Structure 1
Amino acid sequence: MTLYISKHELLKRYRIAKDTLISWRNKKNFPEPVIKAHGRSSSRYGIKAVDSWERNSGLLESLEIEPLITPHK
């Protein structure tokens, strides 16, 4: 299982601009990056924290996106 998702992957997943992600962190309790970007690298966010935030915020339903973490059967 992947542990992190990059900022670029999140922007593409949600179809949002970087400023929107920053706003969500400030106003909607979006998780802080676990690994902060330096230079040309991209910040990384914990998959479990982002998955939990998506489920609790209703984003999965409103954007009709698949969960980041799917339960094993």
Structure 2
Amino acid sequence: MAIYISTPEILKRYKISKGTLKNMRERIDDPFPDPLIKGHGRATNRYGIKAVASWESRNGYLEALEIEPLISNLS
């Protein structure tokens, strides 16, 4: 199982732009998780899959977007 999800994968998953992701990360209440690995140059940021899955669950993204959970068990 993957432990990271990349920026392009997140953009595709939520059907959003980079600007929208930036806004989500800057929210005051429950911001999108910060990347664990910051990309440099052409490399992309990588986010912890558990943090993203937990954030999705708390914010109702699974139901609203009708997407499958990133991981099956949020332990």
**TM-score interval (norm. to shorter):** over 0.9
Tell me, which stretches of 5 or more residues in structure 1 are unaligned? none
**Per-residue Cα deviation, 1:19-39 (whole angstroms, up to 9, x for no partner):** 000000001410000000100
Q: TM-score if structure 1 supplies the norm length? A: 0.94
Other-structure match for 1:69: 71
Task: Give % identity.
Answer: 59
Q: How many residues align?
A: 71
Q: Secondary structure at the match of 1:70?
A: coil
Structure 2 Cα separation of the partners of residues 20 and 37 of structure 1: 18
Give the structure 2 partner of residue 55 of structure 1: 57
Question: Which consecutive residues of structure 2, in runs of 5 or more, have no partner in the other structure?
Answer: none
Partner residue in 2 for 1:8: 8
- Which residue in the other structure is 1:23 paired with? 23
Q: Hey, what's the Cα distance between the residues in 1 that align with 2:31 and 2:16?
A: 16
Alpha-carbon offset, residue 6 of structure 1 = 0.2
Give TM-score, length-normalised by structure 2: 0.91
> 1:45 is matched with which residue?
47
| Superposition misfits of 4+ residues, deviation over 6 angstroms | none
1:6-63 CA distances to partner (integer Å, 9 max, x unpaired)?
0000000000000000000001410000000100000000000000000000011000
Give me the CA root mean square deviation.
Answer: 0.8
